Amino acid sequence: MNAVDLHVHSNKSDGSFTPAELVDHALAKGLSAFALTDHDTTDGIDEALQAASGKPLEVIPGIEFSTEYKGQDIHIVGLYIDHNSDYFKRRLVNFVRGRNIRNQEMCRRLTAHGFPVTYEELTAEFPDSVITRAHYARFMQSRGYVKTVKEAFDKYIGDGCPCFIPRKKITPMRAVEIILKAGGFPVLAHPLLYHFTSRELEELVSLLKEMGLQGIEALYSTHTPADERKIRSLAAKYDLCISGGSDFHGIAKPGLDLGTGYGRLFIHKEVLDRIKKRREWISSHPEQIRHTKILFTDLDGTLLNSQKQISDYTREILRKWTAAGHRLVLCSGRDINSITDVKNYLGLDLPGMYLIGYNGGQIYDCSSRETLYKITLTIPQALHIMEEAEKAGVHVHTYSDTHIIASREDEELHYYKHAISTPILLCPDMAEGLKEGPCKCIGIELKDAEKLENFRCSLLPWAREEGISMIYSSSYYLEFFPAASGKGAALKTLCSLLGIHPYFSVAAGDAENDLSMINAAGMGIAMPNGTEEVRFAATTIAPYDNDHDGLAHALADLI
C-alpha cells in the first residue's frame, strides 16, 4: 500500500461519494492515505476520520479553496488543516456569510425572471451541500424551468447571464495565508488547467511563494509526462514540494477513479513523506512565512463608531497590527489636516502610518510629515462646479492645503463643520480664493436628496469629458475629484512607493467612495452597516458593525 491521493472530493461539495464511502473505496483501491479536499468546506472530514478509525488508512483533513486571480478561478488545496480550530471556523463562517448573500440575490433574480425559487427551497433540495451554480441548474431542471443543465447556464446563470451574481472570491495569496495559519500545508492545485502562459504561471507561483506556498500539483489525472516535467521544474526553481491527486468526484467525472485517475496516475507515499517533513520544518521556522501587509481603512462608518471614536479593543488591535510590522493607512474624503486631527485625538501615534485624503487625492507620510503624492482638479474645473452649484441652489465648497474654502456661511457648511476642525476661509469671489487647483470639491444637501442627484446628473456630460468622478460618500455628500484619483488608485500608488504588492493589501470600508479601494485590494472588508454594493464587492464582511468593533474583530486574525 504505497499509493496515496491528495486531492479528493465527497458529496459535501460536488462529489457523489459520502466521506465514509470514500474511505471504503480507498481501502479497496489499496491506498495508504487520501486527503479529503472538498470545495470551501470541511463538513465531511469528521465522518471520514471516524470511518477510517482503526483501519490501515490515513485520512488527511483538507480543503480546496476557490480563489480569484486576474479574473481566473484558481484553486488552492490545503492539507492537514486544523479544521476544528476556532480560527479556521471563523474563516469558514465568513465564506458562508458572503456565499449566502450572493445565493439569496441569485434566488431573487431568478424569481424576478419567472423562475420562483427561495434559498430555503434550494438548501432543502440539496441538504448539507455547498450551494453552487450546478445546484441551481439542477433545481431549475427538476422544476421544469429548463430542459437541461446546459440551458440553465447558457441562458440564465452562466457568466454574464441576467441571473448570475459573481461571488467575490479571496485571492490565492489569502488562501495560502489562511491555510498556513490553520496549521495546514498550501498547494497550488492543477496548475496547467488555468491555461496560463509559462511566464504568467511563474508570476503566480512567485507571488504565492512570497506568501508562503509550499507545494504544487505535478502529479494529476490529466497531466502528460511533459506536463509533469514542466511542473517539477517550476517546483525545483521555487523550492516547492511535489503534490498529486486524482481530483476524484465520483460520477461527476466519469472514467476518473480514486488514486489512478484515468488509469495512468500513481502517487507514491514518498510524495506525502516529503510533505510531512516540510511541515515539520515550517512549524520550527514560523518566521520564514511572515510577510508585511498594509491596511487601508475608511474612517466614518468603518473605523470610527457613531461618536467618532474607537474603543480600547480597536486601539489595541491597531497597535498589535503595526507592532507586527504591518502598515496602517487612514483613508477618507476629508482633507489631510482633518485626518491628522482624527489621528491625534484617537491617540494613534503608531509606526508605519500613512494618511490618504480627498478620496485619494493626497498621500501623506506621518513619519516624515511629507506629502508623497498629490493630484488635483484644475482651477477652471473647480470654479465651474461651484458656478453650476450656485445655479442649482446646492452648497459646494473646496480646499486649500490649510483651509476649507467656501463662498459663504450656510446651514450645510455649519453641518459639515460639526466633525471637521479644519479652519474655514470665506471667499465671496472664489476665483480669488483659489491659488492652486484643489484635490476635490464637495456638494452638500441636507434636506432634498433629489436636488443633489439632479445636480449630479446635470454635470454628467461635462464630468465625463473633463475626466472627473462624482461619487456619494454619504446620502448628504457628493464628492468631485479627478477620475485618475480615487481611493483605489491611491492604494496602488502607495503600495508601489512602499514596494508592497497590492495583493498583500487589505481595505475596509462602508460607502460608495470605498468601492475602488476594496476592489483594488488583495482583501476587501465590508462593514455590515455598509451599502449593498460594498458588501457585494468585498471578500469578507466584518462580523459586527462600526459601533461594535467590527473592523477590529475582522483584523484580529490577519495580524
Strand partners for 64: 39, 77
Which phi-psi region, left, alpha or beta, contains residue 210 (left: φ > 0; alpha: ψ -120 to 50)? alpha
What's residue 421's pLDDT?
84
Q: Where are the domains of the chain?
A: 3-85+185-289, 294-374+485-556, 379-482
What's residue 539's pLDDT?
86
Architecture of domain 379-482: 2-Layer Sandwich (3.30)
CATH of 294-374+485-556, one of 3.30.390.50, 3.40.50.300, 3.40.50.1000, 3.40.50.620: 3.40.50.1000
Interaxial angle between packed helices 19-28 and 45-52, expressed in degrees from 0 to 180 and rounded to the nearest 10: 40
**Whole-angstrom Cα distance, residue 422 to residue 411?**
17
Q: What is the mean pLDDT of each run of 10 residues along the chain (559 residues)?
A: 94 93 97 96 96 97 93 94 92 77 87 91 82 86 92 88 81 93 96 96 95 96 97 98 97 93 96 96 79 94 96 97 96 93 94 95 96 96 96 95 92 89 90 90 95 96 96 92 94 96 94 93 93 87 94 93
What's residue 165's pLDDT?
79
E strands, 205-357, in order:
215-220, 241-245, 294-298, 327-331, 353-357
The DSSP call for residue 156 is I
Neighbours of 183 (CB within 10 A): 18
What's residue 451's pLDDT?
96
Burial of 54: CB neighbours in 10 Å, binned 0-12, 13-18, 19+: exposed
Please report, as a single letter, which amino acid is at residue 16.
S
What's residue 133's pLDDT?
83
Cell of 58: 490515513
Q: Kindly report the CATH number that applies to the domain delimited by 3-85+185-289.
A: 3.20.20.140
- The predicted model scores a pTM of 0.81
Strand partners for 507: 296, 524
Cell of 506: 487589505
Neighbours of 263 (CB within 10 A): 10
